[in-house]
Amino acid sequence: MSIKTAREILKHQFGYDEFRMNQEPAIEAVLAKKDCVVLMPTGGGKSLCYQIPALMLDGLTVVISPLIALMKDQVDALRANGVEAAFLNSTQTAAEQVEVFRDVRKGKLKLLYVAPERLLQSGDQFLDFLRGINISLFAIDEAHCISSWGHDFRSEYLRLATLKKEFPSVPLIALTATADKLVRKDIFERLNVPDAELFLSSFNRPNIYYAVEPKRNSYGQLLAYLDKRKDESGIIYCLSRNSVDSLASDLRDEGYSALSYHAGLDKETRDKHQESFLKDETKIIVATIAFGMGIDKSNVRFVVHMDLPKNVESYYQETGRAGRDGLVSDALLFFSWADVLKLKGFAAVEGNAEQSAIMLKKLDLMGKFGDLMTCRRRFLLNYFSEESTEDCGNCDNCTTVVERFDGTVIAQKALSAVYRTDQRFGMSYLIDFLRGSKSEKIRDEHKNIKTYGVGADISKDAWFNYFKDLIAQNYLAQTDGEFPTIRLTEKSMDVLAGNTPVELIKVKVKEEKRSKLVADAVHRYEQALFDDLRRLRTTFAKHENVPPYVIFSDATLIEMATYLPQNGWELRKISGVGDLKFDKYGADFLAEIKTYCLTNSLVSRIDLKSNKRERKVRTKRDVSGKDTYHTSLDLYRDGRSISEIAKERGLSPTTIENHLIRFITTGEISLEQFVSMDKVETIQKAIMKFQPSDALSPVKEFLGDEYSFAEIRAVKAML
Ligand code: ADP
Ligand code: ZN
């Protein structure tokens, strides 16, 4: 028997063509018996980093995971791909456990999942057992649980330090989706792997669209939101068990398929609800944060937070449960400062002032995120210490057109209020002061200042927005802490002296202009066929008693419904179709696709699938502006670059590109300004190749990374 390479296993066992992110180097490091720490976002594909080595190394890989609920699914998914795996936990009967032990001794298993408390049971019984067998690798999942700096500290994890001492020659791989530097340091130290190699991937989740809405009538807002998402799977998080129960029942009354999940329900109900959600029988799960740790459902299309999460890590982890299949998904947060205040009450860690301060600081940053006026993804990436200077084009702030106006006088009023009150007050006080509030809160000496009451003509809400805008633009600064005060900045004096004009966002003319481009690019598949395939999948899932995505993920079915493979050879090109699944299900799925194609006179489109690169979701949204086109054109003619215009107008560069491309057709801008002439012919040919289809993504896919959408769009406009 020949020894398979990692890549061969990726293709044959798991059905994937390409490694993602740091999977390949991490696997190589493990195979070289090095310890490693892998930081990858949720859904990035951490599991394969130890699953593939487990298959290549001699012996048993022990996976330590705190999530008992996850174990069964992971093992099911592995078995569905023909990997011998098992788990040991308290949900099993004694007989079942005995059988697992027997299989381990016989060397039948490649992977064994256990909880940390089991691994280090009293008397080290389990460790003794492990000493007697051949261990190839230890994989520590959710490794951030070892750090008290993190958001999910578990004391059992501290005892994992013994692993490296007891088994010095067995490589250890630690994996987490938390990238915080302090957490990272703890992982190296506390697991005793100071020389481990670090694999740090970008934490960006390009397919998730981040949006925040002010929390006013959140139930009404939610209904409006769900109305556009009938039949999609989603998670709705609430802070309290009571609100979970009442929201789930309200949604059911509205006709939605929704169930609740929280720690107050008995285990049986919880499991039933979770199972029903995983199997797609229930579309929406309304839950406290007790739900979701390790939920591996790949087709969650939206995650809504009715209440504020207590820190950005939790927010990112919870929203990260959307779109694991790489398809376009949504994260929506209903935000209010009242929530921040409410959470402050819970943030304190008893008897630990230091820890409390950390938690409060984290909460504060969560509040900042809610209030943010700039690109949300950039904030998130910077939060996780990733450099990111570009606007993403795929968050509410990037896709919202904001009109600005000359707000110099307003800015001067605000700044002078700060100045006259000696930079010692917070936003609310300053606003009351500006509006000439008669309240006793306003100090008497302040009532005699000239600035008192000069802003009475502007509403409180509007003032809040102006202040935030001024802070965002660095004309003012806000201190951290429980009672933040507003300070002047270096830029303030010029404004007060009347030397700098200030532009402010015109309140309440935010006009959402989220385009459908991404949706079009991804959803250009045969919906009816997709539905047929899903039904077929459910039949298999029911029969084998596993969640549907264990058979094939949505992403895989969508590829089938996009590329319409007509024979086995073509089907093998679909991502997610490994050898075992091909043998088990291939014929049935092919038959379904072929029947559909016959009925609808369709042929294979497998040629559209370039096998070099994975199909990537486009994230930059294209926006169809109105008369804003000319504003962009004028600025362009003034000699400003696209990124300068984007910045100036508070729009994404993609939007500006689209504005300008329009003028290529009218001849007001020449094509050469957009595309180098030697590329034009190639692009032209590619476009013709795919006609009469209007979709750009096949063209882009065909052309590859050297050609941008902007270039393709420009040439297309010319044609
Ligand atoms: P994580 O543990 O990092 O959250 P998983 O390991 O559960 O992520 O992987 C998320 C999904 O991505 C799974 O459905 C997995 O099968 C899939 N996946 C992993 N690696 C690849 C790859 N190289 N190509 C395509 N899909 C992949
Ligand atoms: Zn953005």
Please give the distance, rounded to the nearest whole angstrom, from the Cα atom of residue 380 to the centre of ligand 2.
10
Range of the domain at 681: 527-718
**Torsional sign, CA 592, 15, 208, 683:** negative
Q: What is the pLDDT of residue 695?
A: 73
* Residue 44 C-alpha from the chain's centroid: 10
* Residue 391 C-alpha from the chain's centroid: 16
Please give the distance, rounded to the nearest whole angstrom, from the Cα atom of residue 651 to the centre of ligand 2.
10
584 with 475, same domain: the answer is no
* Residue carrying structure tokens 């532009």: 503
On whether the CB atoms of residues 303 and 318 are closer than 8 A, the answer is: yes
- Nearest bound ligand to the CA of residue 212: 2
Assigned domain for 163 exists? yes
Atom of ligand 1 nearest to the CA of 77: 16
What is the rounded CA–CA span in Å between residue 644 and residue 194?
45
SS3 (DSSP) at 321:
coil
Of 119, 91, 88, 117, which is closest to residue 101 (Cα–Cα)?
Answer: 88
The number of distinct structural domains making up the chain is 4
**Mapped to the 3 state alphabet, what secondary structure does 240-280 carry?**
CHHHHHHHHHHHHHCCCCEEEECCCCCHHHHHHHHHHHHCC
CA angle in degrees (0–180, nearest 5) for 565-570-573: 110
443: domain CATH number? 1.10.10.10
Atom of ligand 1 nearest to the CA of 575: 25
Q: What is the pLDDT of residue 597?
A: 93
Q: Which of 383, 418, 446 is the last residue of a domain?
A: 383
Q: How far is CA 603 from CA 525, 554, 561, 562, 608, in A?
A: 13, 22, 11, 11, 12
H/E stretch holding 173: strand 172-176
Q: What is the pLDDT of residue 638?
A: 76
DSSP letter assigned to residue 395: B
CB-neighbour burial class of residue 557 (10 A; exposed 0-12, middle 13-18, buried 19+): buried
Please give the distance, rounded to the nearest whole angstrom, from the Cα atom of residue 198 to the centre of ligand 2.
28
Of 583, 538, 576, which is closest to residue 557 (Cα–Cα)?
Answer: 576
What is the rounded CA–CA span in Å between residue 661 and residue 633?
10
- Nearest bound ligand to the CA of residue 393: 2
Atom of ligand 1 nearest to the CA of 19: 23
Please give the distance, rounded to the nearest whole angstrom, from the Cα atom of residue 714 to the centre of ligand 1.
35
301 with 223, same domain: the answer is yes
Angle of helix 579-599 versus helix 527-544 axis, rounded to 10: 140
Q: Which of 173, 200, 227 is the last residue of a domain?
A: 200
pLDDT of residue 271 exceeding 90, the answer is: no
Q: What burial letters (b/e) apply to 669-689, b meaning 16+ CB within 10 Å? A: bebeebbeeebbeebeebbee
What is the rounded CA–CA span in Å between residue 59 and residue 36?
19
What is the rounded CA–CA span in Å between residue 47 and residue 200?
15
Atom of ligand 1 nearest to the CA of 41: 3
User: Of all protein residues, whose CA lies closest to atom 2 belonging to ligand 1?
Assistant: 46
pLDDT of residue 674 exceeding 60, the answer is: yes
578 with 701, same domain: the answer is yes
Q: What is the pLDDT of residue 282?
A: 93
- Nearest bound ligand to the CA of residue 577: 1
Q: What burial letters (b/e) apply to 183-210, b meaning 16+ CB within 10 Å? A: bbebbbebbbbeebbebbbbbbbbbbbb
pLDDT band per the 50, 70, 90 thresholds, residue 626: very low
Residue 667 Rama label (left phi>0; alpha psi -120 to 50; beta)? left
State both tokens at 570: 């073509």
On whether the CB atoms of residues 541 and 517 are closer than 8 A, the answer is: no
SS3 (DSSP) at 28:
helix
Omega before 501 cis (within 30°)? no
Average pLDDT over residues 423-445: 90
DSSP letter assigned to residue 553: -
Assigned domain for 272 exists? yes
Q: What is the mean pLDDT of the chain?
A: 86
240 with 184, same domain: the answer is no
Of 375, 40, 336, 320, which is closest to residue 177 (Cα–Cα)?
Answer: 40
41 with 58, same domain: the answer is yes
Q: What burial letters (b/e) apply to 94-130, b meaning 16+ CB within 10 Å? A: eeebeebeebbeeeebbbbbbbbbbbbeeeeebeeeb
Residues 6+ positions from 168 with CB-CB distance below 8 Å:
none
Q: What is the pLDDT of residue 610?
A: 60
What percent of the chain shows pLDDT beyond 70?
92
On whether the CB atoms of residues 180 and 384 are closer than 8 A, the answer is: yes
Assigned domain for 389 exists? no
352 with 432, same domain: the answer is no
188 with 221, same domain: the answer is no
SS3 (DSSP) at 207:
coil
Atom of ligand 1 nearest to the CA of 141: 2
What is the rounded CA–CA span in Å between residue 18 and residue 263?
39
pLDDT of residue 523 exceeding 60, the answer is: no
pLDDT of residue 261 exceeding 90, the answer is: yes
Please give the distance, rounded to the nearest whole angstrom, from the Cα atom of residue 287 to the centre of ligand 1.
24
What is the rounded CA–CA span in Å between residue 141 and residue 133?
22
pLDDT band per the 50, 70, 90 thresholds, residue 518: very low
Please give the distance, rounded to the nearest whole angstrom, from the Cα atom of residue 407 to the centre of ligand 1.
49
Assigned domain for 391 exists? no
Q: How far is CA 377 from CA 262, 394, 709, in A?
A: 29, 8, 21
Name the least confident of 9-23, 217-231, 252-266, 347-361: 347-361
- Nearest bound ligand to the CA of residue 650: 2
Please give the distance, rounded to the nearest whole angstrom, from the Cα atom of residue 114 to the centre of ligand 2.
40
Please give the distance, rounded to the nearest whole angstrom, from the Cα atom of residue 150 to the centre of ligand 1.
24
Q: For the chain, how many helices (H) and strands (E)?
A: 34, 19
What is the rounded CA–CA span in Å between residue 271 and residue 326?
27
What is the rounded CA–CA span in Å between residue 575 and residue 18?
9
pLDDT of residue 2 exceeding 70, the answer is: no
pLDDT band per the 50, 70, 90 thresholds, residue 622: very low
213 with 196, same domain: the answer is no
State both tokens at 385: 């210490």
Helical residues (DSSP H) of 111-174, grouped into ranges = 116-119, 125-131, 161-166
Model pLDDT for residues 292-336, shown as the tens digit of each residue: 765 668 889 999 999 999 999 889 989 999 988 888 899 999 998
464 with 557, same domain: the answer is no
Contacts 24+ apart (CB under 8 A), 571-577: 573/17, 573/606, 573/609, 573/611, 574/15, 574/609, 575/15, 575/16, 575/17, 575/614, 575/615, 576/14, 576/15, 576/16, 576/552, 577/15, 577/552
User: Of all protein residues, whose CA lies closest to atom 17 belonging to ligand 1?
Assistant: 45
499 with 548, same domain: the answer is no
What is the rounded CA–CA span in Å between residue 709 and residue 622?
10
87 with 150, same domain: the answer is yes
Q: How far is CA 534 from CA 280, 521, 601, in A?
A: 10, 21, 21
Model pLDDT for residues 443-494, shown as the tens digit of each residue: 988 988 888 999 998 888 789 889 988 998 889 998 876 678 999 999 999 9
What is the rounded CA–CA span in Å between residue 25 and residue 171?
15
225: domain CATH number? 3.40.50.300
Is the pTM higher than 0.75? The answer reads no
Atom of ligand 1 nearest to the CA of 320: 4
Q: Which of 383, 411, 436 is the last residue of a domain?
A: 383
634: domain CATH number? 1.10.150.80
On whether the CB atoms of residues 525 and 699 are closer than 8 A, the answer is: no
Average pLDDT over residues 85-102: 91
pLDDT band per the 50, 70, 90 thresholds, residue 347: confident
162 with 33, same domain: the answer is yes
On whether the CB atoms of residues 117 and 124 are closer than 8 A, the answer is: no
- Site residues for ligand 1, CB cut-off 6 Å: 16, 18-20, 23, 40, 42-48, 296, 298, 324, 553, 575
H/E stretch holding 523: helix 517-523
